Structure 1
Amino acid sequence: MSDESQPYIYADNAATTPLSPAALQAMMPYLTTEFGNPGGIHRIAKAAAQALEVARAKMAEHLGANAHELYFTSGGSESDNWVLHGAVERYRDRFGTTAPTCIITSVIEHHAILHACDALERDGVRIVLLPVDEMGHVRVDDLERALVDAREASHAAGIDAPGCALVSIMLANNEVGTIEDIPALAARAHTHGVPMHTDAVQAVGHIPVDVDALGVDALSLSAHKFHGPRGVGALYLRESFSIPPFIEGGAQERGMRAGTENVAGAIGMEAALAEALDGLDDRRTRVAQLRDRLVQHVLDTCPDVHYTGDPDSGRRLPSIASFAIRDVDGELLVVLFDRAGVAAATGSACSTGSTDPSHVAVALGIDDPAWARGTLRLSLADDVCDADIDALCERVPRCIKRARLMSGSCAV
């Protein structure tokens, strides 16, 4: 039952975060008085253009990049699509349109990657989906085998080329929070002459992200995952990794992405990231400790609950607690959480009596429908406190118990 007297706890921060007051304050002039189009040549336009470039330089600095390597986009999905399609076009320009080529990615990627790969597959690109272990890690040896296979396929066609246009592996998984060993994967891709991209949408602002330390040639991010505005993100492209424009029509973003720039959004994104990085290490430690207290309580009080992802805090996003729960329908569970005053998420959905399990859960080996249809993700806020965890420790077991009693109507 709903209890309106209790404070509502937002535990779905991996989906989106509330806009930071600092970001809003930074944006306000560019939503009101400083409204110029940065493509013009008069003083109002020039002021907007200057502000945009200051935001670009600061964003690049936050990522360990150069300003000319950063392109503003509408968010992570656009950035992912741009780099995948662009990498294939780049490869075909170098080795010919008939050259066999593939994209190597993983089975647990965000659908922005997976669906873009589906489109590329229809265009003749071979898509290689690497498996993961039971904690969600991509293995370097699996990548090595895929890279060797790609080169051999190219040589079999009489073309001296890597056979792979891009390796794209996410930095941190959005469902279970597992952090991938991107430096090792990037190094292995580079030994085969293949560029490396990482979807860092879930990671930026939550763990340190430096493009040189990661060794990547491209990186995607989205502002609304770290208290920036929705509808703005960025794509980092290393200077040595050039791809064709994604949107034609104008000279914006140095001719790489047409369309009047979202000046307010870019400025808000930089302000939010600067705030997120201030005191990041201490905040990571505090949030992870509170998350671990919640996880332990759930495991101690709820039978047939499995903690998913890597349990090592050093290899997991600090804010994400994820579970597979036996004999529970995930969608029903989320509804019960909402009624109990908690915003949560599930990786499965119940529709007309059938359950479509999370592709991430299945990839982790949770393929028994009794478990796979009951995935739960609680993603904690940066300012989560002991009182919030106390409330979650009371509400989560209660909702799981109630969901078990009610899940028969949506059973497989």
Structure 2
Amino acid sequence: MEDATPYLYADNAATTPLSPRALEAMMPYLTSMFGNPSGIHRVARDAALALDDARARAARCLGAAAHELYFTSGGSESDAWILRGAVARFRDRFGADAPVRLITSAIEHHAILHTAEALEREGVAVTYLPVDGEGHVRTDDLEQELAAADAENRARGVDAPPAALVSIMLANNEVGTIEDVAALAAIAHAHRVPFHTDAVQAVGHIPVDVAALGVDALSLSGHKFHGPRGIGALYLREGFSIPPLIRGGAQERGMRAGTENVAGAVGLATALEEATAQLAERGECLAALRDELVRRIVDAVPDVRPTGDPDPARRLPGIASFVCHNVDGELLVVLLDRDGVAAATGSACSTGETGPSHVIAALGIADPRWAQGSLRLSLADDVTADDIALLAERVPAAIRRARNLSAMV
């Protein structure tokens, strides 16, 4: 008998189901073709060839060269590597007397923020740029920060760039806002500062071309676009190098020690090729369904506000995000789960933390009666109109119940 109340998974920004095509491509490297790519016998050579092919295929999807892509365990490792590597690179080039700065934004993923906080404890100065009410980093703010740091260096007689790195995400994981990374990177380069973007939420969902963005480094993670967990990559532009984060062996051309995850790399490349095929058409359709869902939820229940940029051209197509007045976000997610909807409040990686999302706070939503009630619905690109209709029924009903229960506490 067909389930009359299907469970709707609307938490794709947290993770996505593995593509059957990616799983099929991975299977030989999980079974018969199990070789270590570092060896020289035929079993090892087969694994090495598969790894090289996966690297080339994934790089093509980003407009990069194969030798510019390094496989990692995921986005968090890639982010930690580039931040720590940029600091080490700066110190190697300009000496201990040059002040080391990092510039990032207030709405970054915790992989960036927590690494930046650790570096602060190690003596690195970190600037967290604010965002506007839709989640955009303002180019003027970056220009002013770099110009001020340049002036400070000149006053101290220090001949060094004003920062070791600027790191601004390409698209926000909670509200879906897309940053103007190309403009921000150009400003950083005008001040001789390299630029990194955390593109974990963007790759596979919007067109991403490293040359068009003008970035020196870019992070991505396979499980965000129907690839496997435990595999990601860091793009490093040719001519821009950083020290290894993990040392030991000579894997990844001496840049990341550890036996390579061949099956994961093959799965990532296959899923990325699949995700980027006809990306514009699928994104347009998904954005239209997302906008319909937002409209229906806002019309159905009072005191619910969408968050992020409302312009479809400046927002990830699959993310619908809201704040709900007098609603506890965690309670709302529990109620939605009971009603057959997987959703999120804030980001999955912040589970266990208390208080409003740092992203919501950075948007200027200070009233806790609003800030505590954040909700994110992140849709897959195969979502149907029937799915949208069910979500448009279940979500408002759950908001009403959560509001009533919250008022009783």
For the aligned pair, the TM-score class normalised by the smaller chain equals over 0.9
The 3 A distance-change label for structure 1 pair 91 and 370 is same
Q: When the two structures are aligned, how many residues end up with a matched partner?
A: 406
Contact 1:348/1:356 (CA < 8 Å) preserved in 2? no
Q: Unmatched 5+ residue regions in structure 1?
A: none
Q: Higher mean Cα deviation, 69-78 or 93-102?
A: 93-102
What is the CA-CA distance between 1:351 and the residue it aligns to?
Answer: 11
Counterparts in 2 of 1:240-389, with a 5 A limit?
240-347=239-346, 356-389=355-388
Contact 1:348/1:375 (CA < 8 Å) preserved in 2? no
Amino acid at match of 2:42: R
Q: Identity rate of aligned residues, in percent?
A: 69
What is the CA-CA distance between 1:409 and the residue it aligns to?
Answer: 5.8
CA distance in 2, matches of 1:271, 1:306: 38
CA distance in 2, matches of 1:83, 1:98: 22
Q: Secondary structure in 2 aligned to 1:164? A: coil
1:195 aligns with 194
Contact 2:162/2:191 (CA < 8 Å) preserved in 1? no
Per-residue displacement from partner, 1:372-397 (whole Å, max 9, x unpaired)?
Answer: 00000000011000110010011011
CA distance in 2, matches of 1:174, 1:343: 16
Contact 1:103/1:127 (CA < 8 Å) preserved in 2? yes
What TM-score do the two structures reach when normalised by structure 2? 0.97
What is the CA-CA distance between 1:95 and the residue it aligns to?
Answer: 0.5
Q: Secondary structure in 2 aligned to 1:84? A: helix
Contact 2:8/2:387 (CA < 8 Å) preserved in 1? yes
Contact 1:177/1:317 (CA < 8 Å) preserved in 2? yes
CA distance in 1, matches of 2:161, 2:71: 30
1:184 aligns with 183
What is the CA-CA distance between 1:312 and the residue it aligns to?
Answer: 0.3
Contact 2:173/2:347 (CA < 8 Å) preserved in 1? no
CA distance in 2, matches of 1:155, 1:245: 31
Contact 2:101/2:126 (CA < 8 Å) preserved in 1? yes
The 3 A distance-change label for structure 1 pair 402 and 308 is same
Counterparts in 2 of 1:73-88, with a 5 A limit?
73-88=72-87
The 3 A distance-change label for structure 1 pair 264 and 355 is closer
1:66 aligned to 2:65?
A: yes
What is the CA-CA distance between 1:355 and the residue it aligns to?
Answer: 5.2
2:219 aligns with 220
What is the CA-CA distance between 1:92 and the residue it aligns to?
Answer: 0.5
Per-residue displacement from partner, 1:248-303 (whole Å, max 9, x unpaired)?
Answer: 00000000000000000000000000010112111101111111110001111111
1:11 aligned to 2:15?
A: no
Amino acid at match of 2:154: H
1:149 aligns with 148
Contact 1:348/1:373 (CA < 8 Å) preserved in 2? no
What is the CA-CA distance between 1:14 and the residue it aligns to?
Answer: 0.1
CA distance in 2, matches of 1:225, 1:285: 19
CA distance in 1, matches of 2:21, 2:336: 30
Amino acid at match of 2:102: I
RMSD, aligned CA: 1.6
1:174 aligned to 2:173?
A: yes
Counterparts in 2 of 1:39-58, with a 5 A limit?
39-58=38-57
What TM-score do the two structures reach when normalised by structure 1? 0.96
CA distance in 2, matches of 1:61, 1:97: 39
What is the CA-CA distance between 1:163 and the residue it aligns to?
Answer: 2.3
Amino acid at match of 1:100: P
2:393 aligns with 394
Per-residue displacement from partner, 1:226-265 (whole Å, max 9, x unpaired)?
Answer: 0000000000000121100110000000000000000000
CA distance in 2, matches of 1:64, 1:256: 21
Per-residue displacement from partner, 1:42-100 (whole Å, max 9, x unpaired)?
Answer: 00000100110011011111100111110000000000000000000000111102310
CA distance in 2, matches of 1:146, 1:271: 41
Amino acid at match of 2:375: L
Q: Unmatched 5+ residue regions in structure 2?
A: none
Amino acid at match of 1:157: R
CA distance in 1, matches of 2:65, 2:278: 23
CA distance in 1, matches of 2:31, 2:148: 55
2:402 aligns with 403
CA distance in 2, matches of 1:95, 1:150: 15
2:19 aligns with 20
1:231 aligns with 230
CA distance in 2, matches of 1:46, 1:351: 42
What is the CA-CA distance between 1:5 and the residue it aligns to?
Answer: 4.0
Contact 1:202/1:225 (CA < 8 Å) preserved in 2? yes
Amino acid at match of 1:176: V
CA distance in 1, matches of 2:137, 2:243: 29
CA distance in 1, matches of 2:162, 2:94: 9
